[in-house]
Amino acid sequence: MSRLVFVLNGPNLNLLGKRQPHIYGHETMEDVEAMCRKTCEAHRLELRYHQSNREYELIDWIHEAREKAFGIVINPGAFTHTSVAILDALNAFDGTVIECHISQVHKREAFRHHSYVSMRADAVLAGFGTQGYTLAIQRLAHLADTKK
Ligand code: DQA
């Protein structure tokens, strides 16, 4: 079984650490990537890490993951609440999908309560801050270690 994991980040997450730090914290996208790399290394997982503000790029990476990865951790940003196209792409992926939100979306505006991605996700994390990425990767590692 492949031990390759994709961590995908959607729009505005490149501004992590700079935008609304009271909601998203002070860590940057680079900090999160470094943390994901460390966690993957510790669990002998291979990592592809991406961020894009463009929906089609996220879709292309999901298609790429389809051929090689066993798991995807995705924070689709605002596309969570709007994108049937990302849902369709994830539905074409056979591995484990973990949806990860830095903020506790259910405590926020009503439009953030609905997620198209949750209709496919095998697990959802929200409100764990950037630590959610580590937890998601640990879960994938556990699945990779226990699945036959
Ligand atoms: C987010 C929550 C979304 O509602 C928002 O549009 C984001 C970030 C989060 O990580 O908490 O861009 O996905």
Average pLDDT, the chain: 97
The predicted structure's pLDDT at residue 52: 98
Residues 8, 100: Cα–Cα separation, whole Å? 10
pLDDT at 147 over 90: no
Judge whether 54 and 85 are in contact, CB under 8 Å: no
Residues 60, 57: Cα–Cα separation, whole Å? 5
| Greatest CA separation for the chain | 43
Mean pLDDT in residue range 34-40: 98
The predicted structure's pLDDT at residue 2: 85
Which listed residue (26, 49, 50, 101) is catalytic? Answer: 101
pLDDT at 148 over 70: no
- Residue 47 carries which side chain, given as an amino acid letter? L
Measuring CA to CA, which residue among 1, 4, 23 is closest to residue 13? 23
Q: pLDDT, tens digit, for every residue of 62-103?
A: 999 998 999 999 999 999 999 999 999 999 999 999 999 999
The predicted structure's pLDDT at residue 40: 98
Question: Mind listing the domains of the chain with CATH numbers?
Answer: 4-146 (3.40.50.9100)
Q: Tokens 């959610």 identify what position?
A: 132
| β-bridge mates for residue 98, sequence order | 73, 123
Residue nearest atom 7 of ligand 1, based on CA coordinates: 77
Ligand 1 contacts (CB < 6 A) are 12, 75, 77-78, 80, 101-103, 105, 112
Which run of H or of E encompasses 47? strand 46-51
